[in-house]
Amino acid sequence: MIQMIEKKYISEKEFQLIPVTQDVRDFVEASGIQNGVVFVITSHTTSGIIVNENLDCLYTDIEETLERLIPTNFPYVHSHFLPSYGATGGNAPGHLKSILSGNHCVMPIKDGKIQCGFAQDIYFAEFDGPQVRRIFIQVMGD
């Protein structure tokens, strides 16, 4: 059996980690699937899905490390007029940070529950906010 849901989130800052673990848990439990996998996927190229601990100090470390690796104020080539959009693309850092984080995660489902480690949480990672965003949660199994 396969089931999918789309969830919308509104980011409030350029960089933001939005916890989505509970939404994933709720959907998995409501799906009735006892054993399988759940996929959490962002549909945006300037965002990501990450799995990590829920600690404010780690949140800061993630943000600061990504900023050191991919600084906001750098002369990126993507900062020019894009005829296909009719606007100037100035969000190269968001695109590059999303490459590092990836656009999805996969978790096992056992006995109707996602199998997260003790300190694991799933986050939607915003790298180009504030924006209205959406993710897909899809479960497969029996």
How far is residue 50 from each of residues 33, 80, 81, 102, 112, measured CA to CA in Å?
23, 29, 31, 7, 22
Average pLDDT over residues 60-72: 97
Token digits of residue 6: 């789309």
Average pLDDT over residues 59-73: 96
DSSP annotation string for 62-77: HHHHHHHHS-SSS--T
Name the CA radius of gyration of the chain, rounded: 17
Q: How confident is the model at residue 49 (pLDDT cuts 50, 70, 90)?
A: very high
Distance of CA 137 to the CA centre of its chain: 11
| Model confidence pLDDT, tens digit, residues 106-136 | 999 999 999 999 999 999 999 999 999 999 9
- Considering the entire predicted model, what is its pTM? 0.92
Q: How confident is the model at residue 77 (pLDDT cuts 50, 70, 90)?
A: confident
Q: Is the predicted pLDDT of residue 88 greater than 70, yes or no?
A: no
Contacts of residue 74, Cβ cutoff 8 Å, sequence gap at least 6: 92, 93
Distance of CA 92 to the CA centre of its chain: 17
Q: Residue 112: is it exposed, middle or buried by C-beta count within 10 angstroms (0-12/13-18/19+)?
A: middle
pLDDT score for 115: 97
pLDDT score for 112: 98
pLDDT score for 78: 81
